[in-house]
């Protein structure tokens, strides 16, 4: 059982900044995220896009903003359970909570902050009948550990940045990389398309377009896939791994079954006070919540995280008075935890 003060579901920018605000109040945090890395939409959907509306930054790259948030919270030593989806929640008699993931990891905390953004991202899967059978037996929807493909034959499918970037990267790792896309044009960055083309010319990537994977072969694990090139006979390609990278679909996911009031696929909160939900001790901040006038912006998530942390502190320390003071006055090193 992982013990903490605040269990934060979602390690996007809102969840990460909540760790900082909680840390100033000497509250410990543990974050759970279904993705293999922190950063939410910023790292998963647009890591290279500049953002222009973060106060104090005329322009900051999305990936860079997440790196900075990670640096900012390092001092408070948050815990992370990554690559696991928070699936169930149980409220104990003493008002504390146990959140359990799809892999059975249990977290015990005094409050829960849901910073789940658009919900848990689920990979878009190709429509191949028996694909579920081969999941974790050679079919992978994320590249979590590139070393697993060392010396292996892999087939990647997709036409976006993920498919291109991983094909380029794995060309130096795997024994053989085949990239299959159903169109001749790729959607990814021009630079990546050019690099993939250059690797094809050097014989380091097999680029097959316009084509689709229609079947997976193998008795207990993937041993090959059928590739259908438009206007040609189907061909079976021998491989150890098939990696479809068709992007991710956001879904509210298991949180929808936690007994929370939901409106328009988002969690209703009390925005006049502290972003608490209809269940005392469970808060929802960032893109996942809804209230009159809600804006889905990073800086709004930061604001909501700040008010939430003050509320949790007050609840956990009844009667203990603190007066808000600026962090620069108190200083972070040696900060006495009370913001007085
Ligand atoms: P998210 O970033 O969505 O993170 C939520 C995290 O929670 C995810 O990592 C998800 O995996 C995880 N999660 C959800 N459910 C579970 C579960 N049950 N278990 C475990 N993990 C779970 N905003 C701006 O302010 N400025 C911009 O310029 C801007 N540009 C944008 C450009 C694009 C293309 C897009 C798509 C969005 C843009 N936004 C911008 C919006 C901004 O990205 C969001 O407001 C922000 O990401 C919200 O942060 P969050 O932490 O609330 O949620």
Range list of β-strands (E), 191-234: 205-208, 211-217, 224-229
CA atoms within 13 A on the CB side of 330: 16
What is the full per-residue pLDDT of the chain (340 aa) written as tens digits?
999 999 999 999 999 999 999 999 999 999 999 988 999 989 887 777 788 899 999 999 999 999 999 999 999 999 999 999 999 999 999 999 999 999 999 999 999 999 999 887 778 999 999 999 999 899 998 876 788 999 999 999 999 988 998 899 899 999 999 999 999 999 888 888 999 999 999 999 999 999 999 999 999 999 999 999 988 999 999 999 999 999 877 678 899 999 999 998 899 999 888 999 999 999 999 999 999 999 999 999 999 999 999 999 999 998 776 656 566 555 455 454 444 3
Task: Name the residue at shortest CA distance from atom 52 of ligand 1.
Answer: 286
Q: Per the annotation, does 46 bind a ligand? A: yes
Q: Per the annotation, does 33 bind a ligand? A: yes
Q: H or E element: which one contains 156? A: strand 153-157
Ligand 1 mean position, distance from CA 185 (Å): 28
For ligand 1, is residue 289 a contact (CB within 6 Å)? no
User: Rounded distance, CA 189 to CA 168, Å?
Assistant: 13
Site to substitute for ligand 1 among 21, 116, 301, 306, most atoms within 8 A of C-beta:
116
Please state the pTM of the whole predicted model.
0.73
Task: Name the residue at shortest CA distance from atom 8 of ligand 1.
Answer: 40
Q: What is the ipTM of this complex?
A: 0.99
User: Rounded distance, CA 236 to CA 224, Å?
Assistant: 7
Ligand 1 mean position, distance from CA 258 (Å): 20
């Amino acid at each position: 059982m992982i013990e903490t003060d605040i269990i934060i579901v979602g390690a996007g920018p809102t969840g990460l900044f909540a760790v900082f605000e909680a840390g100033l109040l000497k509250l410990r945090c543990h974050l759970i995220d279904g993705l293999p890395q922190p950063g939410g939409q910023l790292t998963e959907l647009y890591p290279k896009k500049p953002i222009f509306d973060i106060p104090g930054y005329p322009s900051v790259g999305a990936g860079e903003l997440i790196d900075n948030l990670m640096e900012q919270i390092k001092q408070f030593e948050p815990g992370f359970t990554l690559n696991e989806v928070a699936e169930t929640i149980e409220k104990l008699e003493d008002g504390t909570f146990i959140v359990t993931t799809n892999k059975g990891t249990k977290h015990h905390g005094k409050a829960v902050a849901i910073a789940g953004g658009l919900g848990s991202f689920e990979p878009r899967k190709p429509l191949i009948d028996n694909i579920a059978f081969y999941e974790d037996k050679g079919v992978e929807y994320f590249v979590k550990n590139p070393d697993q493909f060392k010396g292996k034959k892999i087939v990647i499918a997709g036409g976006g940045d993920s498919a291109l970037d991983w094909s380029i990267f794995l060309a130096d790792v795997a024994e053989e990389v085949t990239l299959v896309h159903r169109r001749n044009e790729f959607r990814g960055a021009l630079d990546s398309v050019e690099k993939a083309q250059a690797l094809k010319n050097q014989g380091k990537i097999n680029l097959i377009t316009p084509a689709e994977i229609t079947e997976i072969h193998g008795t207990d694990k993937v041993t090959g896939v059928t590739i259908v090139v438009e206007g040609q006979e189907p061909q079976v390609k021998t491989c150890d791994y098939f990696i479809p990278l068709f992007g991710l679909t956001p879904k509210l996911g298991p949180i929808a079954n936690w007994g929370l009031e939901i409106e328009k696929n988002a969690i209703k909160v009390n925005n006049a006070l502290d972003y608490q939900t209809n269940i005392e001790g469970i808060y929802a901040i960032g893109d996942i919540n809804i209230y009159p006038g809600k804006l889905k912006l990073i800086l709004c998530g930061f604001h909501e995280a700040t008010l939430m942390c003050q509320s949790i502190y007050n609840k956990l320390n009844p009667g203990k008075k603190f007066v808000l003071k600026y962090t620069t006055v108190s200083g972070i090193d040696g900060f006495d935890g009370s913001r007085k």
